[in-house]
Amino acid sequence: MNLNEKIKILSDSAKYDVSCSSSGSSRKNKKGGIGNAAPSGICHSWTPDGRCISLLKILLTNYCIYDCKYCVNRSSNDVPRAAFTIDELVNLTINFYRRNYIEGLFLSSAVCVSPDHTMELLLKSVKRLREEVNFNGYIHVKAIPGASNKLIEETGKYVDRMSVNIELPSGESLKLLAPQKTKESIIKPMGLIKSGIIQYQEEKLKFKSTPQFVPGGQSTQLIVGATKDNDLKILKLSESLYSSYKLKRVYYSAYVPVSNHPNLPAISGPPLLREHRLYQADWLLRFYGFNSGELLNEENPNFDELLDPKSGWAIRNLDKFPVEVNKADYYTLLRVPGIGVKSAQRIVQGRRVSMLDFDDLKKLGIVLKRAKYFITCKGRYFPQKSIPTNAVSIKNRLLLEDNIKNRGNIEQLSIFSLFPGIMDGEF
Amino acid sequence: MLYYIYDGSFDGLLTAIYDAYYNKDFPEQIVPQDSFTDNFLISKVYIRTEEEKSKKVHDAVLQKISRRAMAGIMYAYLSEDENAGISILEYLRFGFKVGRTVDSYLADDRVNNINRLVTKVAREKHLLAGIIRFRLLHNNIYYAPIEPQYNTLCLLGKHFADRMSDQIFVIHDVKRSYGVFYDKTKWFMSDIEMNKDIVLHENELFYQELWKRYFDNITIKSRINPKLQSNHMPKKYWKYLIEMK
Ligand code: SF4
């Protein structure tokens, strides 16, 4: 089989993995070597679905011994199969990299022969790239559940990021859709990678020359909409992954119907809006100081598809508003709908030299469309005929504005988070 | 109306600023000679670029304002915005008055004008770091043509020299007819005059095909959203993208 066909088959099955981030590592180039990592990550192109291409995202092979119902590569599925030789893979990576097509490699694999066999091939590939070709660009590798500790730890020494995809957010869902996998087989490698990272960070403080171990951190992916699990359950899981497993990122992937197995929901398209809401909530957990209990609870276990999670929270907590822009502390500002990290920073910086009014906020680049219902400047609301102050009318106004903008184009919402945090750095 | 006209170089611009202070006569515009159109209301002062003057301004900015301010005016200059020159002068006058804290005055137009330009240039710089495409030529040189909106190429020399440290390359700003060159030891800039057609390496098209194949294939068809694509990667940059052909 020629390389062209292999690429087709092996990228086809990798594309549902949404992570493409190349951020978080500052690996340097070596003498006579090729490549380095940019801590902020770099996107190299955007596909017609609007997603960023940063890494060459590909499977080593799609021959699989498992039969996970939601997956195109399941053993019972009749699809063309292929496998790269290590030489082919290395060659492809280097040649793409030299032409600046990519930031590095995201190597994954179906489970071929056995978890250990597969992991060994992954290890061999990255070792070849680092040691023989002197490649110092970004590498993200999947850890295969069920592979031995030794192999996983060894692999961690060569890569920038590692991930184990949880995919299904509960034990019951696993039983239903991926009966050959267990919760334990997924959690174990995650724990292993976590301790490896902690150990590396501690030793680095003592010895500068400590060999790197997964410097870009660990991530995982959850499928949204293939099971009955609600948003609360998913968000709670993410929350504990961030706190107990020190994950860098949790990715959410709207389930794309690839099979009509009776255990799978019959949906016509991926639940993109739901995925988008989860990403928004995830940001609120990581950068805005929210916890999952503030955003959802047992009575309301799913996000309002029409309203972003922060606005939803604000409307339920109107007693905390309005917030005076010139006085509120940074974290209070962050909780105002429409004010993001960058805007809050600018406000804090700008008010150091003078009191801010609404015109100043505009000059600071702060979008008042949402924020105006929740803030005052020098004690006054935004100068507009009537600023509603009760929950129902604020909500209606927000929805109205959204609808005007997004009419008939809900997909447009399925944005951001799929590309590394760019454009904010530098300046 | 008093116009300062300089040679278009960064040193020239800093010299103009030096002269403005020295003459205590602040112009209404500072423009590069290439983009200057005369009319009879304008009184012109032609600036003679002097490195010594430019260095003095440079040192003063670092000392009395900040390193960030220096980088800021450099970026603003590279934006080639028609008001860049005068915006820089106004920003520096304000900066020399208030010192280090100048960049906290985010709502002040003098600061805001510079920041707007800086953002544009910084954004393009980051974008170009990703979307520059090298082609391997028959003589083993990696060649990348590009037409940036702003004059950002010079900001990318170090990035690519660090990264592709074992390959000889040229990044060619086709619009401005200059390039960033790297010879495996150092990078430098030089004018480029194209008088021969480029000849590709025999393997080049093979990899271009593979890349296109990969690009087409990684798209999730049920999520097609061309608008989102061109928001991230505006069409004006597509001309030299292998995957967009
Ligand atoms: S083990 Fe991975 S590749 Fe194999 S069927 Fe399950 S999800 Fe798909």
Q: Give one DSSP letter per residue of A149-176, joined into a string.
A: HHHHHHHHTT-SEEE---BSSSHHHHHH
Q: Counting atoms of ligand 1 from 1, which one is nearest the CA of A75?
A: 5
Mutational test site, ligand 1, from A12, A59, A60, A66, max ligand atoms within 8 Å of CB: A66
Q: What is the pLDDT of residues B38-88, one digit of tens each?
A: 888 889 999 999 999 999 999 999 999 999 999 999 999 999 999 999 999
Check CB contact under 8 Å for B166 and A34: yes
Last residue of a domain, one of B123, B141, B168: B123
A111 in ligand 1 pocket by Cβ < 6 Å?
yes
Q: What is the pLDDT of residues B151-196, one digit of tens each?
A: 999 999 999 999 999 999 999 999 999 999 999 999 999 999 887 8
Check CB contact under 8 Å for A363 and B112: yes
A315 in ligand 1 pocket by Cβ < 6 Å?
no
Q: What is the pLDDT of residues B83-123, one digit of tens each?
A: 999 999 999 999 999 999 998 998 899 999 999 999 999 99
Q: Does residue B113 sit in the same domain as residue B137? A: no
Determine the residue of chain B that is closest to A27 in CA distance. Answer: B163
> A364, A353 in Cβ contact below 8 A?
no
Please identify which residue in the block is written with the tokens 């596909």.
A47
Q: Which residues contact B118 (CB under 8 A, 6 or more apart)?
A: A427, B72, B75, B76, B79
A258 in ligand 1 pocket by Cβ < 6 Å?
no
**Separation of alpha carbons A23 and A25, rounded Å:** 6
Q: What is the pLDDT of residues A104-152, one digit of tens each?
A: 999 999 999 999 999 999 999 999 999 999 999 999 999 999 999 999 9
Would you place residue A403 in the very low, low, confident or very high pLDDT band (cuts 50, 70, 90)?
low
Say what the pTM is: 0.89
In this prediction, residues A153-177 reach a mean pLDDT of 91
- Return the SS3 of B92: helix
State the pLDDT at residue A405.
Answer: 52
Average pLDDT, chain A: 88
State the pLDDT at residue A416.
Answer: 34
Determine the residue of chain A that is closest to B137 in CA distance. Answer: A99
Q: Which residues contact B55 (CB under 8 A, 6 or more apart)?
A: none
Q: Give the homologous superfamily in CATH for domain A3-295.
A: Aldolase class I (3.20.20.70)
The fraction of chain B above a pLDDT of 90, given in percent, is 86
B70 is in which domain, residue-wise? 2-123
Q: Chain A closest CA to B41's CA: distance in Å?
A: 33
User: How many CA atoms within 13 Å lie on the side-chain side of A399?
Assistant: 12
Lowest-confidence segment of A183-192, A400-409, B40-49 by average pLDDT? A400-409
> B49, B13 in Cβ contact below 8 A?
no
Q: Is the pLDDT of residue A412 over 50?
A: no
Would you place residue A29 in the very low, low, confident or very high pLDDT band (cuts 50, 70, 90)?
very high
Determine the residue of chain A that is closest to B222 in CA distance. Answer: A269
Q: Counting atoms of ligand 1 from 1, which one is nearest the CA of A64?
A: 4
Q: Is the pLDDT of residue B222 over 70?
A: yes
A140 in ligand 1 pocket by Cβ < 6 Å?
no
Check CB contact under 8 Å for A427 and B229: no
Q: Does residue B160 sit in the same domain as residue B98? A: no
Q: How far is CA B165 from CA A56, A152, B204, in A?
A: 21, 31, 20
Q: Which residues contact A379 (CB under 8 A, 6 or more apart)?
A: A324
Last residue of a domain, one of B99, B123, B147: B123
> A311, A401 in Cβ contact below 8 A?
no
Q: Give me the number of domains chain B comprises.
A: 2
Last residue of a domain, one of B123, B150, B171: B123
Higher pLDDT, A147 or A427: A147
Q: Is the pLDDT of residue A404 over 60?
A: no
Q: Does residue B139 sit in the same domain as residue B172? A: yes
Handedness of CA B226, B127, A12, A275 (dihedral sign): negative
Q: Is the pLDDT of residue A310 over 60?
A: yes
A110 in ligand 1 pocket by Cβ < 6 Å?
yes
A118 in ligand 1 pocket by Cβ < 6 Å?
no
A vs B, Cβ pairs < 8 A, gives: 176
Structure tokens at A234: 């998913």
Q: Does residue B138 sit in the same domain as residue B113? A: no
Q: Where are the domains of chain A?
A: 3-295, 309-424
State the pLDDT at residue A277.
Answer: 94
- For an interface test with B, give the residue of A6, A62, A99 to mutate (most B CBs within 10 A): A99
- For an interface test with B, give the residue of A11, A28, A45 to mutate (most B CBs within 10 A): A45
